[in-house]
């Protein structure tokens, strides 16, 4: 049970992290395009 919960929590944390990273990358690219 706890192993399953831990895996779900880790998965949720990874999704949040990757989502934030993608948003940051997108924002950086948009800023670069603005400069160009």
For position 1, what pLDDT does the model report?
60
Q: Is the dihedral of CA 20, 22, 26, 31 positive or negative?
A: positive
Q: Is the pTM of this model over 0.85?
A: no
d(CA 27, CA 17): 15
CA distances from 17 to 4, 5, 28 (A): 20, 18, 16
What residue ranges do the domains of the chain occupy? Answer: 1-36
pLDDT in tens, 15-35: 999 999 999 999 999 999 998
Query: What average pLDDT does the segment 5-13 reach?
Result: 95
pLDDT band at 2 (very low <50, low <70, confident <90, very high): confident
What would you report as the CA-atom Rg of the chain, rounded to the nearest whole angstrom? 16
């Amino acid at each position: 049970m706890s192993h399953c919960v831990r895996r779900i929590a880790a998965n949720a944390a990874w999704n949040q992290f990757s989502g934030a990273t993608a948003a940051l990358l997108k924002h950086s690219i948009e800023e670069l395009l603005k400069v160009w």
